[in-house]
Amino acid sequence: MNENKGGRERAQWGTKADYLLSCVGFAVGLGNVWRFPYLCQTYGGGAFLIPYFICLVVEGIPIIHLELAIGQRLRQGSVGVWNAIHPLLGGLGVTSMLISFLVGVYYNAILAWILWYFFNSFEEPLPWKNCPLNEQGDDYLPECLRSHPVDHFWYRETLNVTGTLEESGGIQWWLGLCLMAAWAAVYLCTLRGIESTGKAVYVTATFPYVILLCFLVRGLTLEGATDGLAYLFTPKLEVLKNPRVWLDASTQIFYSLGLGFGGMMAFSSYNPIENDCERDAVTIACINSATSLFASIPIFSILGFKATTAFTGCLDGNILKLTNEFDLAEGNVTRDSYHVALASLNSTWPQRVHSLGILTCNLQQNLNQAASGTGLVFIVFTEAILNMPGSQVWSVLFFVMLFMLGLSSMFGHIESILTPLLDLHVFPARFPNEAISGLICGVSLLISLLFTLGSGSYWLIVFDSYVGSLPLLFTVMIELLAVIYVYGYHRWVPFD
């Protein structure tokens, strides 16, 4: 420990592994699992990787190097760093701290949703497999029958969503309990700052890779896995002409590395000054991007299985209709001969075939059903898990993985708030870190109850759209200008 100005001792990382795992855990989060695969699917897989890796080199690595370097050299959090460079830049650090606080508030609400699904994953069958019965118990709920059991469980039994943002709907007690459990987990892992965080990340930052490996092995053995992977990685080079793909690639690199939040500065401020932060920046950025690729393979293997299952189910339903209508022998029409048989019957008895309501079965159309964020995790993927053998086990593992990924990212958000507060001596030295962490988590919990309302999902979209988008971009832009024009680019060499 080193004596810090104000009488409080400044912590140091126990080992280099504690530090690197904390940074990797902060960078690797839910976006690696639910946004990167979506962007790959949207922009043609292999083609999207071209702007993605270009942005990694020209944007991601330099900016994360900047944040690690100034945090390590000045040994302070975001507010102290920018105050030291110029007193008028102190507001930049306060902005980073507030952004991290507000993002943490709604990010942990997502962890509450994940916990709710985790607890329900122990039921047999999974509660989103079938529609619930009505009050009389003699039929399924009409509302569920009009949609799908997976959608009904998400929108009604989990969120109990209201019609509009103005209708609060009251606190959903099950989400409130899950939210308290999520914040309790965050507090227990951050109550002593990096001393407790540095130990927790050995589980939260590594265990998701074990589960991803299990999903990889299982996903590659599923029927239709190759179709999903082919769809993911088949390049569509013409999309590179679209400026949007370059913007989304840049944004994905930017957010997935946690730039602008102040978390990287906070973590690096506990390093020795002589630490090689340039190598750390390259290591963290490469691990983050490799994780995104690694996570995409099992996810699209399983989504390929889901699309194949839907496609074959559609064919089997049509075959059954034709068999019953035309008194065909069982097995006379197979999946392979379906299109030939349908064309033959339709040319002879078009009216009879038309009256059957034959569905159009298209594997490519099923694969085209892209979804990101909550839609991918709580609707598309949960539906895919239903068709996997041992669905309970895979559901438990999936939501454990998501919770661990989100929890390790929350450590960085808490540290982004805690470190500046300690550096600014907002609390006297006799005030223990445990109490400060508890105060941060307690206030955050009270605010995040907003997301347990019936309108909570709408509020989360509002926060996600306005808190962590333009303010974050503006913050990093000012960071770059401050280093180049205020601190002076020619003085940057000693930081390396």
Query: What does 399-423 look like in DSSP terms, one character per residue?
Result: HHHHHHHHHHHHHHHHHHHHHHHHH
Query: Which positions ≥6 away from 382 have C-beta within 8 Å?
Result: 117, 126, 128, 150, 154, 395
Residue 395 is part of a domain; what is its CATH number?
A: 1.10.4160
Helices 16-27 & 194-204 angle (0-180, nearest 10): 70
This prediction has a pTM of: 0.88
On whether the CB atoms of residues 189 and 200 are closer than 8 A, the answer is yes
CA dihedral 426, 11, 18, 200 (to 10 degrees): -60
In a domain, 5, yes or no: no
Element (H, E) at 10: strand 9-10
Domain around 300 = 14-495
On whether the CB atoms of residues 194 and 267 are closer than 8 A, the answer is yes
Number of domains in the chain: 1
Per DSSP, 3 falls in state: E
Query: Which positions ≥6 away from 346 have C-beta within 8 Å?
Result: 353
In a domain, 2, yes or no: no
Element (H, E) at 2: strand 2-3
Closest by CA to 288, choosing from 403, 219, 209, 220, is 209
Query: Which positions ≥6 away from 465 have C-beta within 8 Å?
Result: none
In a domain, 1, yes or no: no
Give CA–CA dist 132/149, Å, rounded.
8
Each of the 496 residues of the chain gets a pLDDT tens digit; together they read 444 555 556 678 888 999 999 999 999 988 888 888 888 877 866 788 889 999 999 989 999 999 999 889 888 888 888 988 888 888 899 999 999 999 999 999 999 999 999 999 999 889 999 888 877 777 788 888 888 899 899 999 999 999 888 898 899 999 999 999 999 999 999 888 788 888 889 998 999 999 999 989 988 988 888 988 888 888 788 888 888 888 888 888 888 888 889 889 999 999 988 889 999 999 999 999 999 999 889 888 888 888 888 889 889 998 999 888 888 888 888 888 888 888 988 888 888 888 888 888 888 777 776 555 677 788 888 888 888 888 999 999 999 999 999 999 999 999 999 888 888 888 887 888 889 999 999 999 999 999 999 999 999 988 888 887 778 878 888 888 888 888 777 766 545 4
In a domain, 393, yes or no: yes
In a domain, 389, yes or no: yes
Position 120, amino acid: N
Give CA–CA dist 66/260, Å, rounded.
11
Q: Which pair of structure tokens corresponds to residue 321?
A: 């209709």
In a domain, 3, yes or no: no
Strands 9-10 and 2-3: antiparallel
Give CA–CA dist 104/108, Å, rounded.
6
In a domain, 201, yes or no: yes
Beta-bridge partner residues of 133: 140
Beta-bridge partner residues of 453: 171
In a domain, 410, yes or no: yes
Closest by CA to 239, choosing from 249, 254, 229, 230, is 249
Query: Which positions ≥6 away from 55 have C-beta within 8 Å?
Result: 246, 249, 250, 252, 253
Give CA–CA dist 73/21, Å, rounded.
20
